[in-house]
Protein backbone atom coordinates (compact mmCIF):
# COMPACT_ATOMS: atom_id res chain seq x y z
CA UNK A 1 0.00 0.00 0.00
CA UNK A 2 1.41 3.33 -1.00
CA UNK A 3 1.69 6.21 1.42
CA UNK A 4 2.02 8.71 -1.38
CA UNK A 5 0.24 11.03 -1.80
CA UNK A 6 -0.75 11.75 1.77
CA UNK A 7 -4.37 10.82 2.28
CA UNK A 8 -5.05 13.72 4.66
CA UNK A 9 -4.18 16.22 1.91
CA UNK A 10 -7.47 15.06 0.42
CA UNK A 11 -9.11 17.83 -1.51
CA UNK A 12 -6.25 20.31 -1.04
CA UNK A 13 -5.31 21.93 -4.33
CA UNK A 14 -2.69 24.38 -5.53
CA UNK A 15 -3.43 28.01 -4.77
CA UNK A 16 -4.61 29.48 -8.07
CA UNK A 17 -5.50 33.14 -7.85
CA UNK A 18 -6.62 34.77 -11.09
CA UNK A 19 -3.47 36.66 -12.09
CA UNK A 20 -4.31 37.50 -15.70
CA UNK A 21 -3.06 41.04 -16.33
CA UNK A 22 -5.69 43.74 -16.02
CA UNK A 23 -5.33 47.54 -16.19
CA UNK A 24 -6.63 48.10 -12.62
CA UNK A 25 -5.87 45.29 -10.20
CA UNK A 26 -7.71 45.63 -6.88
CA UNK A 27 -7.74 41.91 -6.18
CA UNK A 28 -5.02 41.06 -3.67
CA UNK A 29 -4.66 43.86 -1.10
CA UNK A 30 -1.04 44.54 -2.05
CA UNK A 31 0.20 48.12 -1.96
CA UNK A 32 -1.13 49.98 -5.01
CA UNK A 33 0.96 53.04 -4.13
CA UNK A 34 4.00 51.11 -5.34
CA UNK A 35 7.18 49.84 -3.73
CA UNK A 36 8.76 51.60 -0.79
CA UNK A 37 11.35 53.86 -2.47
CA UNK A 38 14.07 53.07 0.11
CA UNK A 39 13.47 49.34 -0.33
CA UNK A 40 13.79 49.69 -4.08
CA UNK A 41 17.05 51.64 -3.66
CA UNK A 42 18.40 48.99 -1.27
CA UNK A 43 17.67 46.21 -3.76
CA UNK A 44 19.22 48.16 -6.64
CA UNK A 45 22.43 48.83 -4.72
CA UNK A 46 22.91 45.24 -3.51
CA UNK A 47 26.44 43.84 -3.90
CA UNK A 48 27.56 40.47 -5.17
CA UNK A 49 27.70 38.84 -1.75
CA UNK A 50 23.99 39.50 -1.35
CA UNK A 51 23.42 36.94 -4.08
CA UNK A 52 26.29 34.49 -3.60
CA UNK A 53 26.42 34.07 0.19
CA UNK A 54 23.89 32.58 2.59
CA UNK A 55 21.96 35.09 4.64
CA UNK A 56 22.17 35.12 8.42
CA UNK A 57 20.38 31.93 9.53
CA UNK A 58 17.75 33.84 11.56
CA UNK A 59 17.89 37.27 9.94
CA UNK A 60 19.44 39.22 12.81
CA UNK A 61 19.55 42.53 10.88
CA UNK A 62 15.85 42.23 10.31
CA UNK A 63 15.27 41.50 14.02
CA UNK A 64 17.19 44.69 14.82
CA UNK A 65 15.08 46.78 12.42
CA UNK A 66 11.84 45.36 13.90
CA UNK A 67 13.18 45.99 17.40
CA UNK A 68 13.87 49.64 16.51
CA UNK A 69 10.53 50.22 14.82
CA UNK A 70 8.26 48.43 17.29
CA UNK A 71 10.23 48.73 20.53
CA UNK A 72 10.20 45.01 21.37
CA UNK A 73 13.25 42.95 22.44
CA UNK A 74 15.07 40.97 19.71
CA UNK A 75 14.45 37.63 21.43
CA UNK A 76 10.68 38.11 21.21
CA UNK A 77 10.75 38.33 17.40
CA UNK A 78 10.63 35.65 14.73
CA UNK A 79 10.68 36.28 10.99
CA UNK A 80 9.73 34.27 7.92
CA UNK A 81 9.21 34.01 4.19
CA UNK A 82 5.99 35.98 4.35
CA UNK A 83 3.62 35.71 7.29
CA UNK A 84 2.15 32.59 5.66
CA UNK A 85 5.45 30.94 6.56
CA UNK A 86 5.04 32.06 10.16
CA UNK A 87 1.49 30.74 10.37
CA UNK A 88 2.71 27.46 8.89
CA UNK A 89 5.57 27.17 11.39
CA UNK A 90 3.33 28.18 14.28
CA UNK A 91 0.68 25.56 13.54
CA UNK A 92 3.48 22.97 13.41
CA UNK A 93 5.10 24.20 16.63
CA UNK A 94 1.92 24.26 18.72
CA UNK A 95 0.61 20.90 19.89
CA UNK A 96 1.00 17.43 18.42
CA UNK A 97 0.02 16.21 14.95
CA UNK A 98 -3.74 15.70 14.92
CA UNK A 99 -4.36 18.77 17.09
CA UNK A 100 -6.92 21.42 16.28
CA UNK A 101 -6.71 25.00 15.00
CA UNK A 102 -9.87 26.96 15.79
CA UNK A 103 -10.63 30.19 13.95
CA UNK A 104 -13.36 32.79 13.75
CA UNK A 105 -14.70 32.66 10.20
CA UNK A 106 -15.01 33.71 7.52
CA UNK A 107 -11.34 34.60 7.52
CA UNK A 108 -8.03 34.32 5.64
CA UNK A 109 -8.38 31.24 3.40
CA UNK A 110 -4.79 30.06 4.00
CA UNK A 111 -5.52 29.26 7.64
CA UNK A 112 -7.51 26.16 6.87
CA UNK A 113 -5.04 25.09 4.18
CA UNK A 114 -1.97 25.55 6.40
CA UNK A 115 -3.63 23.71 9.28
CA UNK A 116 -4.41 20.75 7.05
CA UNK A 117 -0.98 20.76 5.41
CA UNK A 118 0.42 20.28 8.91
CA UNK A 119 -1.94 17.43 9.77
CA UNK A 120 -4.09 19.63 12.01
CA UNK A 121 -7.86 19.87 12.03
CA UNK A 122 -9.26 23.30 11.19
CA UNK A 123 -12.51 24.24 12.93
CA UNK A 124 -14.47 27.33 11.89
CA UNK A 125 -16.49 29.15 14.56
CA UNK A 126 -18.85 31.69 12.92
CA UNK A 127 -17.88 35.26 13.80
CA UNK A 128 -21.25 36.09 15.35
CA UNK A 129 -20.93 33.18 17.80
CA UNK A 130 -17.29 33.95 18.56
CA UNK A 131 -18.06 37.63 19.16
CA UNK A 132 -21.02 36.82 21.39
CA UNK A 133 -18.84 34.54 23.52
CA UNK A 134 -15.05 34.21 23.04
CA UNK A 135 -15.13 30.92 25.00
CA UNK A 136 -16.70 29.34 21.89
CA UNK A 137 -13.27 29.47 20.28
CA UNK A 138 -11.75 27.55 23.18
CA UNK A 139 -14.26 24.69 23.37
CA UNK A 140 -12.84 21.17 22.88
CA UNK A 141 -9.32 22.17 23.76
CA UNK A 142 -7.65 23.44 20.56
CA UNK A 143 -3.87 23.92 20.41
CA UNK A 144 -4.20 27.14 18.42
CA UNK A 145 -6.87 29.82 18.13
CA UNK A 146 -6.49 32.07 15.10
CA UNK A 147 -8.00 35.55 15.01
CA UNK A 148 -7.45 37.98 12.14
CA UNK A 149 -7.76 41.62 13.26
CA UNK A 150 -8.81 43.50 11.19
CA UNK A 151 -10.29 40.48 9.50
CA UNK A 152 -9.74 39.45 5.90
CA UNK A 153 -12.05 39.44 3.89
CA UNK A 154 -14.73 41.33 5.87
CA UNK A 155 -12.67 44.20 7.31
CA UNK A 156 -14.10 43.62 10.79
CA UNK A 157 -12.04 44.93 13.71
CA UNK A 158 -12.94 42.67 16.65
CA UNK A 159 -13.35 44.91 19.72
CA UNK A 160 -10.32 45.24 21.99
CA UNK A 161 -12.34 44.23 25.08
CA UNK A 162 -13.41 41.04 23.31
CA UNK A 163 -9.81 40.21 22.50
CA UNK A 164 -8.77 40.86 26.08
CA UNK A 165 -11.40 38.45 27.35
CA UNK A 166 -10.26 35.80 24.86
CA UNK A 167 -6.68 36.23 26.06
CA UNK A 168 -7.85 36.12 29.67
CA UNK A 169 -9.74 32.91 29.05
CA UNK A 170 -6.74 31.30 27.34
CA UNK A 171 -4.68 32.25 30.41
CA UNK A 172 -1.11 31.01 30.70
CA UNK A 173 -1.79 27.33 30.00
CA UNK A 174 -4.49 27.43 27.30
CA UNK A 175 -4.12 27.42 23.52
CA UNK A 176 -1.75 29.72 21.69
CA UNK A 177 -3.71 32.73 20.46
CA UNK A 178 -2.41 33.67 17.01
CA UNK A 179 -3.42 37.23 16.25
CA UNK A 180 -2.94 38.00 12.55
CA UNK A 181 -2.38 41.75 12.22
CA UNK A 182 -1.70 41.80 8.46
CA UNK A 183 -3.94 44.92 8.24
CA UNK A 184 -3.27 46.52 11.64
CA UNK A 185 -1.46 49.44 10.00
CA UNK A 186 -4.78 50.55 8.50
CA UNK A 187 -6.69 50.16 11.78
CA UNK A 188 -4.19 52.15 13.85
CA UNK A 189 -4.18 49.65 16.71
CA UNK A 190 -1.84 46.76 17.44
CA UNK A 191 -0.95 44.34 20.22
CA UNK A 192 2.68 43.95 19.11
CA UNK A 193 4.02 45.77 22.17
CA UNK A 194 1.91 43.72 24.59
CA UNK A 195 2.81 40.37 23.05
CA UNK A 196 6.20 39.76 24.77
CA UNK A 197 4.57 39.83 28.22
CA UNK A 198 1.82 37.37 27.35
CA UNK A 199 2.67 33.65 27.61
CA UNK A 200 0.06 32.57 25.06
CA UNK A 201 -0.05 35.30 22.43
CA UNK A 202 1.71 35.52 19.08
CA UNK A 203 1.09 38.65 17.02
CA UNK A 204 1.79 38.08 13.33
CA UNK A 205 2.60 40.91 10.92
CA UNK A 206 3.49 41.14 7.25
CA UNK A 207 5.46 43.52 5.05
CA UNK A 208 3.26 42.56 2.08
CA UNK A 209 0.57 45.19 2.61
CA UNK A 210 1.33 48.60 4.19
CA UNK A 211 5.08 48.21 3.54
CA UNK A 212 4.59 47.31 -0.13
CA UNK A 213 6.89 44.25 -0.23
CA UNK A 214 4.62 41.35 -1.22
CA UNK A 215 7.14 40.26 -3.86
CA UNK A 216 9.93 40.01 -1.26
CA UNK A 217 8.00 37.63 1.01
CA UNK A 218 8.78 38.95 4.49
CA UNK A 219 6.67 38.51 7.61
CA UNK A 220 7.42 38.60 11.32
CA UNK A 221 5.80 37.80 14.63
CA UNK A 222 6.19 38.89 18.24
CA UNK A 223 5.50 36.81 21.34
CA UNK A 224 7.15 35.78 24.60
CA UNK A 225 10.79 34.66 24.14
CA UNK A 226 9.66 31.05 24.57
CA UNK A 227 6.91 31.28 21.95
CA UNK A 228 9.15 33.16 19.50
CA UNK A 229 11.89 30.58 19.90
CA UNK A 230 9.63 27.57 19.35
CA UNK A 231 8.17 29.11 16.18
CA UNK A 232 11.64 30.00 14.90
CA UNK A 233 12.80 26.42 15.53
CA UNK A 234 9.84 25.03 13.63
CA UNK A 235 10.48 27.48 10.80
CA UNK A 236 14.11 26.50 10.23
CA UNK A 237 17.14 28.59 9.14
CA UNK A 238 17.67 30.78 6.02
CA UNK A 239 14.00 31.52 5.36
CA UNK A 240 14.51 35.23 4.64
CA UNK A 241 16.77 35.85 1.65
CA UNK A 242 19.48 38.52 1.85
CA UNK A 243 17.83 40.60 -0.84
CA UNK A 244 14.45 40.47 0.92
CA UNK A 245 16.01 41.32 4.28
CA UNK A 246 17.77 44.35 2.76
CA UNK A 247 14.51 45.63 1.31
CA UNK A 248 12.63 44.95 4.55
CA UNK A 249 15.17 46.76 6.74
CA UNK A 250 15.00 49.83 4.49
CA UNK A 251 11.20 49.83 4.52
CA UNK A 252 11.05 49.36 8.30
CA UNK A 253 13.50 52.22 8.84
CA UNK A 254 11.12 54.30 6.69
CA UNK A 255 13.37 57.35 6.87
CA UNK A 256 10.97 59.57 4.93
CA UNK A 257 7.65 58.44 6.43
CA UNK A 258 6.40 56.78 3.23
CA UNK A 259 4.47 54.14 5.20
CA UNK A 260 2.31 56.48 7.32
CA UNK A 261 1.77 58.78 4.32
CA UNK A 262 0.46 56.08 1.97
CA UNK A 263 -1.42 54.34 4.80
CA UNK A 264 -3.26 57.50 5.64
CA UNK A 265 -4.23 58.09 2.00
CA UNK A 266 -5.42 54.50 1.86
CA UNK A 267 -7.69 55.03 4.88
CA UNK A 268 -9.08 58.26 3.39
CA UNK A 269 -9.85 56.47 0.12
CA UNK A 270 -11.49 53.57 1.98
CA UNK A 271 -13.97 55.95 3.61
CA UNK A 272 -14.49 57.80 0.33
CA UNK A 273 -15.15 54.61 -1.62
CA UNK A 274 -17.51 53.29 1.06
CA UNK A 275 -19.48 56.50 0.84
CA UNK A 276 -19.57 56.34 -2.97
CA UNK A 277 -20.97 52.80 -2.71
CA UNK A 278 -23.60 53.88 -0.17
CA UNK A 279 -24.60 56.72 -2.52
CA UNK A 280 -25.37 54.02 -5.10
CA UNK A 281 -27.66 52.28 -2.63
CA UNK A 282 -25.11 49.55 -1.90
CA UNK A 283 -24.12 48.31 1.53
CA UNK A 284 -20.40 47.69 1.90
CA UNK A 285 -19.32 46.35 5.30
CA UNK A 286 -17.54 48.85 7.54
CA UNK A 287 -13.81 48.16 7.14
CA UNK A 288 -10.70 48.82 9.23
CA UNK A 289 -8.34 47.37 6.60
CA UNK A 290 -7.03 48.36 3.14
CA UNK A 291 -10.05 46.89 1.35
CA UNK A 292 -13.82 47.02 1.39
CA UNK A 293 -16.15 44.01 1.29
CA UNK A 294 -19.26 44.54 -0.81
CA UNK A 295 -21.94 41.88 -0.33
CA UNK A 296 -23.70 40.78 -3.55
CA UNK A 297 -26.62 38.44 -4.22
CA UNK A 298 -26.15 34.77 -3.47
CA UNK A 299 -24.41 32.95 -6.30
CA UNK A 300 -23.50 36.14 -8.19
CA UNK A 301 -19.92 36.92 -7.07
CA UNK A 302 -18.39 35.06 -10.00
CA UNK A 303 -20.58 36.87 -12.57
CA UNK A 304 -19.72 40.21 -11.00
CA UNK A 305 -16.05 39.40 -11.16
CA UNK A 306 -16.19 38.52 -14.86
CA UNK A 307 -18.28 41.56 -15.74
CA UNK A 308 -15.84 43.90 -13.96
CA UNK A 309 -12.83 42.15 -15.51
CA UNK A 310 -14.34 42.67 -18.95
CA UNK A 311 -14.20 46.37 -18.11
CA UNK A 312 -10.57 46.28 -17.02
CA UNK A 313 -10.90 46.00 -13.25
CA UNK A 314 -10.01 43.02 -11.07
CA UNK A 315 -11.51 42.52 -7.61
CA UNK A 316 -11.59 39.38 -5.48
CA UNK A 317 -14.89 37.47 -5.55
CA UNK A 318 -15.99 35.30 -2.62
CA UNK A 319 -18.84 32.78 -2.70
CA UNK A 320 -20.77 31.16 0.08
CA UNK A 321 -18.76 32.53 2.97
CA UNK A 322 -19.88 31.58 6.44
CA UNK A 323 -22.36 34.32 7.49
CA UNK A 324 -21.13 36.79 4.85
CA UNK A 325 -22.44 34.89 1.80
CA UNK A 326 -21.24 36.23 -1.57
CA UNK A 327 -19.21 39.38 -1.92
CA UNK A 328 -16.52 41.32 -3.70
CA UNK A 329 -13.38 42.42 -1.88
CA UNK A 330 -12.04 45.63 -3.34
CA UNK A 331 -8.47 46.65 -2.48
CA UNK A 332 -7.77 50.32 -1.83
CA UNK A 333 -5.59 52.22 -4.28
CA UNK A 334 -4.87 55.80 -5.38
CA UNK A 335 -8.20 57.46 -6.12
CA UNK A 336 -7.96 57.44 -9.97
CA UNK A 337 -7.92 53.62 -9.86
CA UNK A 338 -10.94 53.52 -7.56
CA UNK A 339 -12.69 55.94 -9.89
CA UNK A 340 -12.14 53.47 -12.72
CA UNK A 341 -13.60 50.76 -10.51
CA UNK A 342 -16.68 52.90 -9.83
CA UNK A 343 -17.03 53.59 -13.57
CA UNK A 344 -16.90 49.87 -14.34
CA UNK A 345 -19.34 49.14 -11.53
CA UNK A 346 -21.81 51.73 -12.83
CA UNK A 347 -21.61 50.21 -16.30
CA UNK A 348 -22.29 46.73 -14.96
CA UNK A 349 -25.23 47.96 -12.91
CA UNK A 350 -26.64 49.89 -15.88
CA UNK A 351 -25.98 47.20 -18.42
CA UNK A 352 -29.00 45.08 -17.89
CA UNK A 353 -31.61 43.61 -15.66
CA UNK A 354 -29.80 40.35 -15.04
CA UNK A 355 -26.61 42.07 -14.08
CA UNK A 356 -28.46 44.67 -12.07
CA UNK A 357 -30.23 41.81 -10.35
CA UNK A 358 -26.89 40.60 -9.12
CA UNK A 359 -27.13 43.22 -6.44
CA UNK A 360 -30.67 42.57 -5.26
CA UNK A 361 -30.42 40.37 -2.25
CA UNK A 362 -27.21 42.08 -1.23
CA UNK A 363 -27.45 41.97 2.53
CA UNK A 364 -28.35 45.18 4.20
CA UNK A 365 -27.58 43.74 7.63
CA UNK A 366 -23.81 43.65 7.97
CA UNK A 367 -24.07 42.79 11.68
CA UNK A 368 -23.55 39.07 11.28
CA UNK A 369 -20.62 39.44 8.92
CA UNK A 370 -18.99 41.71 11.40
CA UNK A 371 -19.55 45.39 11.66
CA UNK A 372 -18.07 46.02 15.08
CA UNK A 373 -15.50 48.36 13.74
C1 LIG B 1 -2.15 39.18 2.95
C2 LIG B 1 -2.28 38.48 4.24
C3 LIG B 1 -1.17 37.95 4.89
C4 LIG B 1 0.18 38.16 4.31
O5 LIG B 1 0.77 37.05 3.88
P6 LIG B 1 2.29 37.11 3.43
O7 LIG B 1 2.63 35.68 3.39
O8 LIG B 1 3.04 37.85 4.48
O9 LIG B 1 2.33 37.81 2.12
C10 LIG B 1 -1.33 37.34 6.10
N11 LIG B 1 -2.54 37.26 6.69
C12 LIG B 1 -3.62 37.77 6.10
C13 LIG B 1 -4.92 37.72 6.79
C14 LIG B 1 -3.53 38.38 4.86
O15 LIG B 1 -4.62 38.87 4.27
Output the pLDDT for position 369: 40
Q: From CA 234, how far away is CA 139, in angstroms rounded?
A: 26
Q: What are φ and ψ of residue 329, in 5° steps?
A: -100, 120
Q: Which atom of ligand 1 is nearest to the CA of 209?
A: 1
The finding on whether 214 has its CB within 6 A of some atom of ligand 1 is yes
Express each pLDDT in 230-262 by its tens digit: 999 999 999 999 999 999 999 999 999 999 999
Q: Determine which residue's CA is closest to atom 2 belonging to ligand 1.
A: 182
What is this structure's pTM? Answer: 0.94
The finding on whether 315 has its CB within 6 A of some atom of ligand 1 is no
Q: From CA 209, how far away is CA 82, in angstroms rounded?
A: 11
CA–CA distances in Å: residue 137 to residues 127, 133, 158, 170, 224: 10, 8, 14, 10, 22
Express each pLDDT in 323-339 by its tens digit: 999 999 999 999 999 99
Does an H or E element contain 133, and which? none
Helices (H), 171-257: 184-187, 225-235, 242-253
Q: Which atom of ligand 1 is nearest to the CA of 30?
A: 1
Express each pLDDT in 121-151 by its tens digit: 999 999 999 999 999 999 999 999 999 999 9
Output the pLDDT for position 9: 79
Name the nearest CA neighbour of 173 among 193, 153, 199: 199
Express each pLDDT in 204-219 by its tens digit: 999 999 999 999 999 9
Q: From CA 283, how far away is CA 292, in angstroms rounded?
A: 10
The finding on whether 219 has its CB within 6 A of some atom of ligand 1 is yes
CA of 280 to the centre of ligand 1 (A): 31
CA of 174 to the centre of ligand 1 (A): 25
Does a cis peptide bond (omega within 30 degrees of 0) precede residue 106? yes
Mean pLDDT in runs of 10 for the chain (373 residues)? 78 83 96 96 97 96 98 98 98 94 98 95 98 98 98 98 97 96 98 97 98 98 98 96 98 98 98 98 97 96 94 96 97 98 95 56 42 33
The finding on whether 185 has its CB within 6 A of some atom of ligand 1 is no
Name the nearest CA neighbour of 28 among 367, 243, 321, 289: 289
Output the pLDDT for position 367: 39
Strand partners, 24: 313
The finding on whether 148 has its CB within 6 A of some atom of ligand 1 is yes
The finding on whether 206 has its CB within 6 A of some atom of ligand 1 is yes
Query: Checking DSSP bridges between strand 313-314 and strand 24-25, what pairing results, if any?
Result: parallel
The finding on whether 182 has its CB within 6 A of some atom of ligand 1 is yes
Amino acid sequence: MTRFPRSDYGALDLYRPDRRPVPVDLSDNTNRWGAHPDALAAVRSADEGTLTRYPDAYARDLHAAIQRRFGVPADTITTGCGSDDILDSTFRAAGPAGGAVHFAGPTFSMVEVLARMNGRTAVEVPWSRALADPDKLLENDPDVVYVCRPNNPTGLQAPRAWLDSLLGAAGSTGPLIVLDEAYADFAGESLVRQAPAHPRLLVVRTLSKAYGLAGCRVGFAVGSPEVAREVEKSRGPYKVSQIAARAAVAALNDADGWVPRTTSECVTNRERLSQALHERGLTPLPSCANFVFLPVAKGSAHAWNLALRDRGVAVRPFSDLCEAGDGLRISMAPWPMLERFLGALDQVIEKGIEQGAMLTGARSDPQTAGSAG
